[in-house]
């Protein structure tokens, strides 16, 4: 398996066609996987915003006040409002905002970014990242690059473990997971491992070569990797009734 960064991409602006920008810079083979950082997908889709666009509700003001009181960190209530607008559910409100986005991804601040946002205050995640992935995939196909799955990636922290890793937030042209259920180990015992989230692993691998910051490269081609002859699953975000950690967070209140 090989990962090749797509270099030389310009600063992406609203209305830009990411498939075109990528296709001009790399030759893709059938079976290659293209990973694209949500940052440039959001920029192409015009998901830039300014804090003054967010009139502050009572709930947003309350959250900002509580964070300021408890965490001692000044929080702009307009930013809290933006997070609320982007969220289906708030899992934690203090000392930081952990939200489920409207498309099911759980991350701090609903994934709203304040870095690398030229001429605006904030950058929202794509509205429907799997549809974004599908559009990019279709755009590649129009340019003669058929059978290239596309993954829209983000970086995100995790419970229990330090540091952020690359994760998938949308995908098209391949299943999200290899489903090993029913397959056997070397001794013929059915495998305990059930589902391997390959889109998240591909996003993590890509993040090793994209980097953050000024030298960041927002797209990567994965070569010579095969999904293989396995069942597939498209579940990526856990259903509420299947996520004990989420249940625990709902029952819990920060008392720090």
- Which residue, chain included where needed, has tokens 């003001």? 61
Figure out which of the listed residues 8, 14, 46, 211 binds its own copies, where binding follows CB under 8 A: 211
Q: Is 38 annotated as a binding residue?
A: yes
- Our finding on whether 200 is near its own copies (CB under 8 A) is yes
Figure out which of the listed residues 15, 30, 55, 213 binds its own copies, where binding follows CB under 8 A: 213
- Our finding on whether 74 is near its own copies (CB under 8 A) is no
Per-residue x/- marks for its own copies, 129-158, CB under 8 A?
--------------------------x--x
**CA dist 188 to 161, 180, 183, 192, 229, Å?**
33, 14, 9, 12, 18
Q: Which helix (H) or strand (E) holds 70?
A: helix 58-71
Query: Residue 147 and residue 133: Cα distance in Å, rounded?
Result: 13
Q: Do residues 88 and 101 make contact, with C-beta atoms less than 8 angstroms apart?
A: yes
217-246 positions binding its own copies, by CB under 8 A? 225, 228, 233, 235-238, 243-246
Instruction: Please say which residue, 96 or 143, places its beta carbon nearer to its own copies.
Output: 96
Query: Residue 18 and residue 40: Cα distance in Å, rounded?
Result: 8
CB of 219 to its own copies, least distance (A): 14
Per CB under 8 A, the segment of 47-55, 63-71, 140-148, 198-206 that binds its own copies is: 198-206
Burial (0-12, 13-18, 19+ Cβ within 10 Å), 203: buried
Per CB under 8 A, the segment of 17-25, 49-57, 126-134, 200-208 that binds its own copies is: 200-208
Instruction: Please say which residue, 15 or 161, places its beta carbon nearer to its own copies.
Output: 161
Per CB under 8 A, the segment of 79-87, 124-132, 140-148, 160-168 that binds its own copies is: 160-168
Query: Residue 195 and residue 177: Cα distance in Å, rounded?
Result: 6
Burial (0-12, 13-18, 19+ Cβ within 10 Å), 92: middle
Figure out which of the listed residues 166, 172, 173, 221 binds its own copies, where binding follows CB under 8 A: 166
- Our finding on whether 249 is near its own copies (CB under 8 A) is yes
CB of 78 to its own copies, least distance (A): 17
- Which residue, chain included where needed, has tokens 């994934």? 111
Burial 143-167 (b: 16+ CB within 10 A, else e): eebeebbbbbbbbbeeeeeeebbbb
Give binding residues for GTP as ranges.
9-12, 38-39, 43, 116, 210-217
């Amino acid at each position: 398996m090989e990962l090749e960064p797509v270099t030389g991409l310009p600063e992406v602006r609203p209305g830009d066609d990411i498939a075109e920008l990528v296709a001009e810079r790399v030759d893709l083979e059938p079976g290659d996987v293209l990973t694209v950082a949500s940052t440039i997908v959001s920029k192409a889709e015009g998901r830039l915003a300014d804090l003054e666009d967010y009139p502050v509700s009572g709930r947003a003001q309350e959250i900002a006040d509580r964070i300021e009181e408890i965490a001692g960190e000044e929080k702009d209530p307009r930013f809290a409002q933006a997070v609320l607008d982007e969220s289906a559910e708030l899992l934690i409100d203090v000392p930081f905002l952990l939200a489920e986005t409207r498309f099911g991804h759980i991350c701090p601040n609903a994934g709203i970014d304040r870095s690398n946002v030229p001429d605006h205050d904030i950058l929202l995640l794509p509205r429907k990242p799997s549809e974004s992935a599908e559009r990019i995939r279709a755009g590649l196909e129009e340019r003669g690059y058929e059978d290239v799955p596309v993954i829209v990636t983000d970086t995100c922290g995790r419970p229990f473990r330090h540091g952020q890793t690359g994760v998938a937030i949308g995908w098209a042209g391949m299943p999200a997971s290899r489903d090993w259920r029913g397959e056997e180990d070397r001794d013929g015992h059915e495998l305990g491992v059930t589902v391997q989230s390959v889109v998240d692993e591909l996003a993590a691998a890509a993040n090793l070569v994209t980097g953050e910051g000024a030298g960041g490269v927002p797209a990567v081609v994965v070569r010579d990797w095969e999904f293989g002859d396995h069942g597939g699953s498209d579940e990526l975000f856990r259903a509420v009734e299947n996520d004990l950690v989420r249940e625990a967070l709902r029952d819990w209140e920060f008392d720090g």
